[in-house]
Structure 1
Amino acid sequence: MKKYISSILVMMCLFNFISIAGASQNNAKQEQKDAWEEAEKAKIVGPTQINLLDQAKITIPAHYEFIPQPQASRVMKSMGNGDCPEMVGFIISDKDNEEWILTIDYTKSGYIKDDEAKNWNADELLTSLKEGTKENNKERKQKGLSELTVNGWVEKPQYDAARHYLIWSIELAARGEKEKTINYNTYALGREGYLTLALVTDLKKIGSEKAIAQNLLAATEFVPGKRYEEFNSLTDNIAEYGLAALVTGVAAKKLGLLAMIAAFCLKFIKLIIIGVGALGVLIVKIFKKKKNEKDSDASETTEL
């Protein structure tokens, strides 16, 4: 009798667990749907110029869509990501054959000195990245995340001293990941901090699609009063770290963000969030799928 009752209790617990899991999944899907619908209403379609806080402006071309805050964060959270308070928004393309996403963050770090870029060594920076990634793998393992391996540069660090632009990208491998995605990182330095424009796409497409990030970076400029060259050593704050830190990840350590596993805070991708790029591509696919479904429904309604 006890065995029979125990079996019933196990079945009841299992049924309750399945019911709760099912309800939770339905709630998650509904939240994703609501988040995307809100993003669709808030999107800014190119060609147009967009204000990036009170710091800068970016000009996006036709077929590009900018999702601002707070809608951008709601989308990220609905897909299982944590908070990313420095995100300004993200950009996607409305073309079906383009499944990239470019996030824009602003970090109020203070003025970052760029003099070290004259003498930095790409091999030394890569070694630092590898060592930092190995150390970070210990924390990733504790959190149940797959370990990462740095395979090498996709784009060696390049700094344009005239425009104060930084570009770099590395190839990483994560255990268990079948699809390889990449984060192509670009930065624009300002008087009070820096903007990060990070492109997430398929590694196979980076050769042709990195131009997307480069062009958007070139279309970004700080407004008067916030420009890098307007720095005043008597009044302005200076960052605790230099330019190389935006490559090696020292900036992340100094800001105490090593425990942060929030996808799409991509400026810290080198040590913290690499390996979730596939999620970015997935978000774009889901967004476009929902848009196509919506357009299809509207078409059917019109025909009726």
Structure 2
Amino acid sequence: MTTTPTRWMRAFAVACLGAMFLGATPAFAEGSQGAETGQNAFAQVIAAAQNDIVKGPQDIKLSTQAVLHLPEGKVYIPQPHAAKLMRAMGNPGDYSDLEGVVFPRGDGDWFATLRFEKSGYIKDDDAKHWDAADMLKSFKEGTEASNDERKKMGGRALEITGWAQEPAYAADTHRLVWAMKSREVGAPAGEPQGVNYNTYALGREGYMSLNLVTDLDALPKYQGDAKQLLGALEFNDGKRYSDFNAKTDHVAEYGLAALVLGVGAKKLGLLAVIGAFFLKFAKIIVLAVVGFGGAIMKLLGRKKSEAAES
């Protein structure tokens, strides 16, 4: 069931989008100049993407590999808007394998990225022997290395503080789950930490990843959303893990443990944790565009006419 936004949320969204389309800069009650710049960039990306945003329930093709049965109450932002969106939120990196980003339409302070990596068939027989401590060390080092680039793009330096859930693999469904805790460098000890809740679905030619980003304290509340999206992900006939042909198919150069330890740290585990204010702002902008876009555009058109007359 989709939650209807309150009146102040609608008013705030109209004000922000109105200022954006009319060339003015909306004022925000909190946040640094860098954060405000990021918010403006986010709003501009959403505005450019409004004709391509998909509202659930609807099936979405992911590469030539799978289908996401997007549930009711979720919205999907495809490429190329998705990559621009991630960078606007202070996440540098390569997004060539990013399929799109999912947001909730109603209550819910989270977003999720969807990627496909054509790595080849990944053997999972090493899942029982990996070392969670080594994986944690890799994530910490990778995050530190990316902080300079993150700062250049207006983001803030991050640090990894530990596992929220150590890697766990289900051999029957070929699903891998793990969660990493993170926070901004120098943040007060009592400030809420963020979390990247990562899920992988292995296929014949590679893997789909779904990475849900939210506050650590909110993870128990939104784990169900991640599981719902993962359950709504279905590989096409001939692309499933069980369709592997040892005689013809390419096998990945790394196993399941390395997927988390190295490749996972590089590609999936370093998303910035968006502060509560920015995350809610993002949700409001998405709601405004996909829920009230027509009314807002009429309002903006009227404002432009009034400005011209003045």
Question: Which TM-score applies when normalising by structure 2?
Answer: 0.72
* Superposed counterparts of 1:114-129, under 5 Å: 114-117=124-127, 119-120=128-129, 124-125=131-132, 127-129=133-135
Q: In structure 2, what is the Cα distance between the partners aligned to 1:208 and 1:35?
A: 28
Matching residue of 2:60: 50
Aligned length: 258
Higher RCO (CA < 8 A, seq sep 6+): 2
* Superposed counterparts of 1:96-175, under 5 Å: 97-117=107-127, 119-120=128-129, 124-125=131-132, 127-136=133-142, 139-140=145-146, 146=157, 148-151=159-162, 153-175=163-185
Q: In structure 1, what is the Cα distance between the partners aligned to 2:183 and 2:43?
A: 31
Structure 1 residue ranges without an equivalent (≥5) = 1-21, 258-264
Of the three residues 243, 246, 253, the one matched with 2:259 is 246
Query: Residues 158 and 182 of structure 2 are in contact (CA less than 8 Å); yes or no, is this contact kept in structure 1?
Result: no
Of the three residues 200, 207, 228, the one matched with 1:187 is 200
Q: Which secondary structure state, in structure 2, belongs to the residue aligned with residue 42 of structure 1?
A: coil
**Cα deviation code 1:147-200 (max 9, x no counterpart):** 62433x322322121211111112234422344211100000011100000000
Matching residue of 1:277: 273
* Superposed counterparts of 1:253-264, under 5 Å: none
The CA deviation at 1:287 is: 4.7
Q: Which has the higher Rg, Structure 1 or Structure 2?
A: 1
Q: Residues 297 and 246 of structure 1: is their aligned pair in 2 closer, same or farther, counting only changes over 3 Å?
A: same
Q: Percent identity?
A: 32
Q: In structure 1, what is the Cα distance between the partners aligned to 2:205 and 2:239?
A: 7
Structure 2 residue ranges without an equivalent (≥5) = 1-24, 26-33, 303-310
Q: Residues 252 and 155 of structure 1: is their aligned pair in 2 closer, same or farther, counting only changes over 3 Å?
A: closer
Query: Residues 68 and 89 of structure 1 are in contact (CA less than 8 Å); yes or no, is this contact kept in structure 2?
Result: yes
**Cα deviation code 1:122-164 (max 9, x no counterpart):** xx32x1023324544663566566362433x322322121211
Query: Residues 101 and 199 of structure 1 are in contact (CA less than 8 Å); yes or no, is this contact kept in structure 2?
Result: yes
Of the three residues 213, 218, 228, the one matched with 2:241 is 228
Q: Which letter maps to 2:104?
A: S
Question: Which TM-score applies when normalising by structure 1?
Answer: 0.73
